[in-house]
Amino acid sequence: MAPGSLRCPRRRLPRASRLTQSGNVGQHRMTEEILAMKHVFVYGTLRAGEVNDIGQAAARSALGMPKLIGEGSVRGRLFDFGNYPGLVPDDDGIHVRGDVYEVDERLVSVLDEIEEVYPGEAGLFMQHEVTVDIDGAAFDCLYYPVQRHAVQGLPEIGSGDWVAYRRERK
């Protein structure tokens, strides 16, 4: 190393970054591709160990494993549709329990497919945003509540916890 030159330590880039070099000898063009990350709140069959487990959905699509941020809740009313729950947002409702994950934004289209959310079509589930507090930190999350009119006559899950409810009713 020449006197007066600086040596930069090698630094690993975050998992969501890729650094590439290209160009002629002595000339480098650097580009950094940052994969956007999103937060999602899951309260039903997308929870770990359930039929549509978010981690398994990512693996089937060859995407990075979702990172569990923590357990949280949103205000609403939770209903039993038989094989899955539906959440109706309601500021006066109970705390509906779920998990917040950080996910590769490409996983969102996979989740949309699972929840049958398609652009321009009104279905049972909708993609919305909600703020979830975990240990004093606020996370803006995507989540999938249901249309309010769809729950008429369905049993309400008073505990607000789909997983515990499903296990108890077996």
Q: How far apart are CA 75 and CA 88, in angstroms?
A: 9
β-pairing, 67-80 vs 128-134, is unpaired
CB of 71 within 8 A of CB of 133?
Answer: no
Q: What was the pLDDT predicted at 36?
A: 85
Q: What was the pLDDT predicted at 34?
A: 52
| Residue 26 confidence (pLDDT) above 50 | no
50: Cα separation from own chain's centroid: 15
Structure tokens at 113: 């497919």
- Dump pLDDT digits (tens) for 115-152: 999 988 989 999 999 999 999 999 999 999 999 999 99
Q: What was the pLDDT predicted at 16?
A: 37
Amino acid occupying residue 40: V
CA angle 106, 110, 113 (to 5 degrees): 140
CATH of domain 36-169: 3.10.490.10
Residue 50, SS3? coil
Rg (CA), the chain: 21
Q: What was the pLDDT predicted at 2?
A: 41
The DSSP symbol for 85 reads: E
Q: How far apart are CA 165 and CA 161, in angstroms?
A: 6
| Residue 41 confidence (pLDDT) above 70 | yes
- Dump pLDDT digits (tens) for 11-23: 333 333 333 333 3
Structural element, H or E, at residue 112: helix 107-114
| Residue 35 confidence (pLDDT) above 70 | no
